[in-house]
């Protein structure tokens, strides 16, 4: 058993590419080694910003021998009548490397055959690795590949060295014009000298001595521990930021930290501005007090052990001071004019060539929001709010920090003493992003949020900018998802299908095709997002979602409740039987006209029984559904299972007497209508469903 | 270190590394990459090493001289090393020593930052180089220019000179940087920044700019249709359209959709110019050579 090491040393690899690179290289090695007969090996993929490595412990130094059972020609074909060998017999003997008289025989139903077991000797592991590695490396894929130098090689960044050792033995091959060897280098600042690795098993230790921590997990632990220590020394806490830590883990070879401070006066800026500057622009960890209040300090991650002359801290403090001053400058500039004045410029910001300016959009959003509000707020108020919601796009701050859209509008309005309802709605109306994050707190925020997104979706559909496949340049799927989430999570009794219609109506004048086609396309698009909400977020299976949506999804919170209830009950034998029975009901009644049921025409007790049960079920729904007591409604459905089964056994619906037949169809139709208040059970895929 | 010493030190250093020290392109451009020494020399097999300062105009970034960190015209020092040598990162780090920055006591990082110029049909991959959290250089391996895949690959280093000077001098405003001989950056350039802002945001004649865009666009095409094509005049005419576009943009006269169309028109001529350049060099047998010289060698 030996330890194998491969290290590919490069220039700095993009942080975002490294987790995928480690995953790929481990998978590729695992697969290729398994093909070679090596299995269940602990493959460790390691990396720093400047190297990608694989360490495999307990690798046999030879490939295991592999035996193969070969069957040759029938014995009677291998020997002539006089017992002398035929060419076929001799051929097989040559193939298995034995004299013909030593070749074994095997009895089969088709007679006796020549047979032999051939042992393929395993090859030396380094030989196999030397063949395998260039292919594995060539199979690695990165989000963006590049060429360098003479342009003949392609990888994520230029390659400078390759180490490949099985214990102390060199595994010889060449990739990217670089021959494998045993030399590598340590940290760029602390140990830049080239050195030879004696043996693969020493890799981690030898690199650590040279200030390179090759295991990302070790770097994460060190970062988190050091950050906590530093924060504690500063009497503060680190604002948890796993995403940022994960990025820094990939950006360094040896993670170090420096704590720095900025002038407390910048804490007068909106906290989001300070946090955006520190986190997004400088990738610093943010410090806060016990109550989550921002502290005038930060922690910067550095790629070195120390800050010997304090220059790294000073430099970071200077940069952050400058960036905060820059943000302060924008804030002061923006505050010179009220948002109500700034908003005049909206007509200069184009939303879309055909759909017009953001001023035009705000007008549409206001109009649509008024429909959605159903009288709860006036159209003038809503239109004015819709305009103010977009006003911060004209501010210096959002021009510089686009991620603060909404947030800045909220702050500026609050500072102008606007109503709480207004500034919080403006702040929140971009929430959530797709299905992620919280929804707006206020009614006004939700109104603007849904109206804005439906207008965007309907508008861009109208002018032919519809998403297809992976192409969704305007983020319409995310927009529709945001609207769906707002309605579903807030329990809003909005008629969503009607809202979509209204949105289509507002943009209809821009539509290329006819208005009905537009409304239908947008409705189908939103319905698809509703289905995704049910399957991905509520967590029901696809056919449950289909069954529930076939019974209507316009009342979204109601559809969610029905989906959850159906998902719970559907696995019972009662519901399997109901689903099968309902498929029969649909098969019989689809396309048939509705009619009044006449109990006088019934001939069999099962008809009376089903009629009574249907009526009872209908009454139960009448009481339960307005209160969204859907679980009870599904429970009320259960007695129908046995009754329907008896009905279909005893009653021939399609009998010859037309009057009796139509009455029976009418009965099943009435039952179907009741069912369809909850779900179209025929959409459920259940065992025996093909009958 | 004052601004002019910074420039002189970098020029001296890169001259010692085998670069010819070129002069700025005498046209308005948004970045050093538009200099023919960068955009055109990157094409084809001929090795080349060059360094030059390029005043770079971005009218939309102007701030009436009121913002201490923003300029409508800043200075880039650009270095092109073709083909990119194996030790290009080390050469770069050594250049910082020439500025009195000792990498051994600073935190120097290469963080992914890819570059793309839609108007030039060019892109590359690389990093922004951060010194103690401050972006001081853009480091790019050109992959494509004028829509043409490149081989050999050039390394392009772009130093943001004012920023580096601010950082080295620990100044809170660009205008307080010492340019040289006791004269400040503000004393040299503040008035110009103010006027350029007024002109770019308020005064520039939109109709005239549009007209000239059309004029120079067709002039570039005329140069390309000439037999043989006039490569540098075509590029210069194209760069004028690029600058006119930037002015129109700063003036708020370009809508989102029109923007895409105008950029495509500039790119069309840039791409055609790149092709014409390559044909021209090929027709004279690539006089600077097509053998690859390998790393570290002086061209």
Could you report the per-residue pLDDT of B198-208, keeping only the tens digit for each?
A: 999 999 999 99
CB B235 within 8 A of CB B186: no
- Given a cut of 60, is residue A691 above it in pLDDT? no
Q: For residue A294, what pLDDT is reported?
A: 95
Distance CA A201, CA A198 (A): 9
Q: For residue B298, what pLDDT is reported?
A: 40
- Given a cut of 50, is residue A542 above it in pLDDT? yes
Q: Verify whether the Cβ–Cβ distance B89 to A11 is below 8 Å.
A: yes
- Given a cut of 80, is residue A119 above it in pLDDT? yes
Looking up tokens 């109901």, which residue turns up?
A: A578
Q: Verify whether the Cβ–Cβ distance B67 to A326 is below 8 Å.
A: yes
Shortest distance between the Cα of A553 and any Cα of chain B, in A, equals 37
Q: For residue A102, what pLDDT is reported?
A: 87
Q: For residue A511, what pLDDT is reported?
A: 83
pTM confidence score: 0.82
Least CB–CB distance from B153: residue in A148, A282, A322: A148
Shortest distance between the Cα of B174 and any Cα of chain A, in A, equals 11
Q: What angle do CA A504, A505, A509 make, to 5 degrees?
A: 100
Shortest distance between the Cα of A283 and any Cα of chain B, in A, equals 9
- Given a cut of 60, is residue A527 above it in pLDDT? yes
Distance CA A611, CA A640 (A): 10
Q: For residue A68, what pLDDT band results from cuts at 50, 70 and 90?
A: confident
Q: For residue B292, what pLDDT is reported?
A: 52
pLDDT (mean) for B19-44: 97
Taking the domains of chain A in order of start, what are their residue ranges?
A: 2-62+124-209, 69-120, 220-334, 340-538, 556-683
Mind listing the pLDDT tens digit for each residue in B90-130? 999 999 999 999 999 999 999 999 999 999 999 999 999 99
Q: For residue A370, what pLDDT band results from cuts at 50, 70 and 90?
A: very high
Q: Which residue of chain B has the CA closest to A320?
A: B133
Mind listing the pLDDT tens digit for each residue in A594-650? 889 999 999 999 999 999 999 999 999 999 988 889 999 999 999 999 999 999 999
Q: For residue A688, what pLDDT is reported?
A: 60
Q: What letter does residue A443 receive in the DSSP assignment?
A: H
Distance CA A85, CA A77 (A): 9
A269 touches B at CB < 8 Å: no
B260 touches A at CB < 8 Å: no
Cis amide linkage into residue B228, ω under 30° from 0: yes
Q: For residue B299, what pLDDT is reported?
A: 36
Q: Verify whether the Cβ–Cβ distance A319 to B69 is below 8 Å.
A: no
B291 touches A at CB < 8 Å: no
Q: What radius of gyration, in Å, describes the C-alpha atoms of chain A? A: 36
Q: Verify whether the Cβ–Cβ distance A315 to B67 is below 8 Å.
A: no
A159 touches B at CB < 8 Å: no
Q: Verify whether the Cβ–Cβ distance B112 to A312 is below 8 Å.
A: no
Looking up tokens 């007679």, which residue turns up?
A: A111
Least CB–CB distance from B292: residue in A146, A150, A319: A150
Mutate to test the interface with B, among A190, A254, A315, A394 (most CBs of B within 10 A): A315
Mind listing the pLDDT tens digit for each residue in A262-319? 999 999 999 999 999 999 889 999 999 999 899 999 999 999 999 999 999 999 999 9
A309 touches B at CB < 8 Å: yes
pLDDT (mean) for B47-65: 95
A661 touches B at CB < 8 Å: no
Reading the block at residue B146, the tokens are 């004028």
Least CB–CB distance from A149: residue in B84, B114, B125: B84
Q: Verify whether the Cβ–Cβ distance A151 to B152 is below 8 Å.
A: yes
Q: What angle do CA B44, B50, B52 make, to 5 degrees?
A: 130
A358 touches B at CB < 8 Å: no
Q: Verify whether the Cβ–Cβ distance B112 to A15 is below 8 Å.
A: yes
Angle, helices A542-550 vs A515-532, to 10°: value is: 140
Distance CA A118, CA A106 (A): 15
Q: For residue A513, what pLDDT is reported?
A: 78
Q: For residue A593, what pLDDT band results from cuts at 50, 70 and 90?
A: confident
Least CB–CB distance from B127: residue in A12, A144, A188: A12
- Given a cut of 60, is residue B297 above it in pLDDT? no
Q: What residues of chain B lie within 8 A of the CB of A309, using their CB?
A: 105
A242 touches B at CB < 8 Å: no
CB A602 within 8 A of CB A659: no
Q: What letter does residue B69 receive in the DSSP assignment?
A: T
Distance CA A361, CA A368 (A): 10
Q: Verify whether the Cβ–Cβ distance B104 to A189 is below 8 Å.
A: yes
Distance CA A526, CA B124 (A): 39
pLDDT (mean) for A501-528: 91
A152 touches B at CB < 8 Å: yes
Q: Which residue of chain A has the CA closest to B108?
A: A303
Q: What residues of chain A lie within 8 A of the CB of B108, using their CB?
A: 188-189
B170 touches A at CB < 8 Å: yes
On whether the A340-538 domain is CATH 1.10.3210, my answer is yes
In the stretch 613-652 of chain A, residues with CB closer than 8 A to chain B read none
A397 touches B at CB < 8 Å: no
Q: For residue A374, what pLDDT band results from cuts at 50, 70 and 90?
A: confident
Reading the block at residue B193, the tokens are 């920044």
Reading the block at residue A399, the tokens are 């021009």
Rounded to the nearest integer, the mean pLDDT of chain A is: 93
Mutate to test the interface with A, among B85, B91, B133 (most CBs of A within 10 A): B133
**Containing H/E element for A119?**
strand A111-120
pLDDT (mean) for B232-259: 91
pLDDT (mean) for A251-271: 96
pLDDT (mean) for A340-359: 89
- Given a cut of 80, is residue A429 above it in pLDDT? yes
- Given a cut of 80, is residue B296 above it in pLDDT? no
A332 touches B at CB < 8 Å: no
Q: What residues of chain B lie within 8 A of the CB of A158, using their CB?
A: 84, 86, 141
Least CB–CB distance from B151: residue in A150, A300, A352: A150
Q: For residue B291, what pLDDT band results from cuts at 50, 70 and 90?
A: low
Tell me if domain A340-538 and domain A556-683 are identical in fold: no
Distance CA B59, CA A494 (A): 48
- pLDDT: which is higher, A408 or A380: A408
Fold of A556-683: Isoleucyl-tRNA Synthetase; Domain 1 (1.10.730)
Q: How far is CA A54 from CA A133, A175, A248, in A?
A: 11, 16, 21
Q: For residue A689, what pLDDT band results from cuts at 50, 70 and 90?
A: very low
A308 touches B at CB < 8 Å: yes
Mind listing the pLDDT tens digit for each residue in A147-157? 999 999 999 99
Q: Verify whether the Cβ–Cβ distance B107 to A15 is below 8 Å.
A: no
Q: How many CB atoms lie within 10 A of CB A676?
A: 15
- Given a cut of 90, is residue A433 above it in pLDDT? no
For A241-250, A425-434, A510-519, B1-10, which range has the lowest pLDDT when averaged over its residues? A510-519
Q: For residue A350, what pLDDT is reported?
A: 81
Q: What residues of chain B lie within 8 A of the CB of A324, using their CB?
A: none
Distance CA B68, CA A321 (A): 12
Looking up tokens 């704590």, which residue turns up?
A: A259
CA B265 vs. chain centroid, Å, equals: 20
User: Among A49, A192, A11, which residue's Cα sits nearest to residue B139?
Assistant: A11
B202 touches A at CB < 8 Å: no
Count the alpha carbons within 13 Å of B249 in the hemisphere toward its beta carbon: 21
Percent of chain A at pLDDT exceeding 70: 99
């Amino acid at each position: 058993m030996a330890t194998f090491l491969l290290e590919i040393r490069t220039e700095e690899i993009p942080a975002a590419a490294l987790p995928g690179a480690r995953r790929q290289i481990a998978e590729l090695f695992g697969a290729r080694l398994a093909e070679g007969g090596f299995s269940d090996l602990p493959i460790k993929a390691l990396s720093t910003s400047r190297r990608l490595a694989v360490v495999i412990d307990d690798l046999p130094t030879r490939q295991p021998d592999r035996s193969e059972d070969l069957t040759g020609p029938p014995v009677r074909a291998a020997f002539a009548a006089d017992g002398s060998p035929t060419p076929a017999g001799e051929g097989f003997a040559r193939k298995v490397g034995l004299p013909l008289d030593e070749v074994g025989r095997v009895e089969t139903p088709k007679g006796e055959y020549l047979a032999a077991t051939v042992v393929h000797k395993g090859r030396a592991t380094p030989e196999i690795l030397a063949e395998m590695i260039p292919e594995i490396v060539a199979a690695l894929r990165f989000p963006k590949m590049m060429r360098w130098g003479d342009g003949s090689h392609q990888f994520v960044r230029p390659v400078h060295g390759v180490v490949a050792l099985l214990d102390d033995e060199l595994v010889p091959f060449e990739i990217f014009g670089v021959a494998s060897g045993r030399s590598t280098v340590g940290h760029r600042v602390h140990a830049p000298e080239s050195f030879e690795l004696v043996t693969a098993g020493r890799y981690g230790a030898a690199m650590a001595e040279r200030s390179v921590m090759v295991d990302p997990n070790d770097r994460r632990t060190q970062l988190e521990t050091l950050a906590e220590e530093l924060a504690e020394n500063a009497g503060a806490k680190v604002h948890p930021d796993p995403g940022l830590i994960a990025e820094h883990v990939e950006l360094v070879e040896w993670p170090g930290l420096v704590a720095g401070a900025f002038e407390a006066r910048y804490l007068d800026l909106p906290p989001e501005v300070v946090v955006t500057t520190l986190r997004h622009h400088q990738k610093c960890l943010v410090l806060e007090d016990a109550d989550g209040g921002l502290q005038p300090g930060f922690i910067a991650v550095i790629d070195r052990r120390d800050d010997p002359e304090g220059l790294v801290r000073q430099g970071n403090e200077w940069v952050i001071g400058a960036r905060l001053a820059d943000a302060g400058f924008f804030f002061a500039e923006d505050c010179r004019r009220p948002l109500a004045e700034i908003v005049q410029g909206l007509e200069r910001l184009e939303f879309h060539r055909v759909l017009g300016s953001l001023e035009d959009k705000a007008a549409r959003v206001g109009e649509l929001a008024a429909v959605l509000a159903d009288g709860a707020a006036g159209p003038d108020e809503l239109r004015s709010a819709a305009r103010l919601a977009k006003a911060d796009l004209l501010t210096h701050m959002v021009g510089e920090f686009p991620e603060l859209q909404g947030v800045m509008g909220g702050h500026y309005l609050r500072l102008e003493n606007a109503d709480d309802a207004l500034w919080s709605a403006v702040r929140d109306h971009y929430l959530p992003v797709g299905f992620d994050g919280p929804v707006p707190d206020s009614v006004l925020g939700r109104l603007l949020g849904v109206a804005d997104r439906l207008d965007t979706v309907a508008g861009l559909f109208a002018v032919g900018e519809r998403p297809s496949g992976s192409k969704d340049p305007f983020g319409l799927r995310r927009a529709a998802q945001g609207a769906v989430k707002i309605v579903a999570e807030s329990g809003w009794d909005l008629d969503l299908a009607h809202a979509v219609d209204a949105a289509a109506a507002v943009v209809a004048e821009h539509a290329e095709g006819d208005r009905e086609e537009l409304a239908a396309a947008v409705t189908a698009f939103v319905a698809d997002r509703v289905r995704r909400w049910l399957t991905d977020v509520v967590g029901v299976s696809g056919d449950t979602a289909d069954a529930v949506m076939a019974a209507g999804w316009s009342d979204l919170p109601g559809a969610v409740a029905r989906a959850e209830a159906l998902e719970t009950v559907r696995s019972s034998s009662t519901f399997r039987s109901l689903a099968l029975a309902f498929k029969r009901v649909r098969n019989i009644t689809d396309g048939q006209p509705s009619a009044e049921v006449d109990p006088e025409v019934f001939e069999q007790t099962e008809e009376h029984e089903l009629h009574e049960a249907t009526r009872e079920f209908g009454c139960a729904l009448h009481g339960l559904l307005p209160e969204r007591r859907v679980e009870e409604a599904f429970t009320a459905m259960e007695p129908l299972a046995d009754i329907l089964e008896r009905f279909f056994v005893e009653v021939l619906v399609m009998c010859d007497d037309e009057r009796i037949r139509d009455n029976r169809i009418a009965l099943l139709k009435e039952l179907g209508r009741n069912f369809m208040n909850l779900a179209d059970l025929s959409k459920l895929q259940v065992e025996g469903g093909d009958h | 270190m004052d601004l002019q010493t910074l420039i002189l030190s970098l020029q001296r250093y890169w001259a010692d590394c085998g670069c010819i020290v070129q002069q700025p392109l005498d046209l308005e451009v948004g970045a050093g990459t538009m200099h023919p020494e960068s955009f055109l020399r990157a094409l084809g097999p001929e090795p080349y090493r060059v360094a030059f300062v390029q005043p770079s105009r971005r009218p939309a970034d102007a701030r009436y001289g009121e913002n201490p960190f923003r300029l409508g015209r800043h200075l880039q020092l650009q270095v092109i090393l073709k083909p990119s040598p194996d030790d290009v990162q080390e050469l770069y780090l050594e250049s910082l020593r020439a500025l009195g920055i000792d990498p051994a006591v600073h935190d120097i990082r290469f963080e992914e930052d890819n570059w793309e110029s839609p108007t030039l049909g060019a892109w590359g991959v690389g990093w922004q180089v951060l010194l103690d959290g401050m972006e001081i250089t853009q480091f790019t391996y050109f992959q494509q220019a004028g829509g043409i895949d490149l081989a050999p690959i050039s390394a392009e280093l772009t130093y943001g000179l004012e920023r580096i000077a601010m950082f080295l001098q620990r100044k809170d405003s660009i205008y307080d940087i010492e340019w040289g001989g006791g004269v400040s950056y503000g004393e040299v350039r503040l008035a110009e920044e103010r006027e350029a802002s007024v002109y770019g945001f308020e005064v520039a004649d939109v109709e005239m700019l549009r007209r000239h865009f059309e004029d120079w666009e067709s002039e570039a095409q005329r140069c390309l249709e000439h037999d043989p094509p006039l490569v540098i005049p075509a590029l210069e005419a194209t760069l004028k359209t690029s600058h006119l576009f930037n002015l129109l943009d700063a003036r708020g006269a370009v809508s989102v959709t029109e923007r895409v169309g105008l950029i495509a028109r500039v790119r069309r001529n840039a791409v055609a110019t790149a092709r014409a350049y390559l044909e021209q060099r090929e027709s004279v047998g690539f006089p600077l050579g097509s053998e690859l010289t390998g790393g570290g060698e002086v061209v």
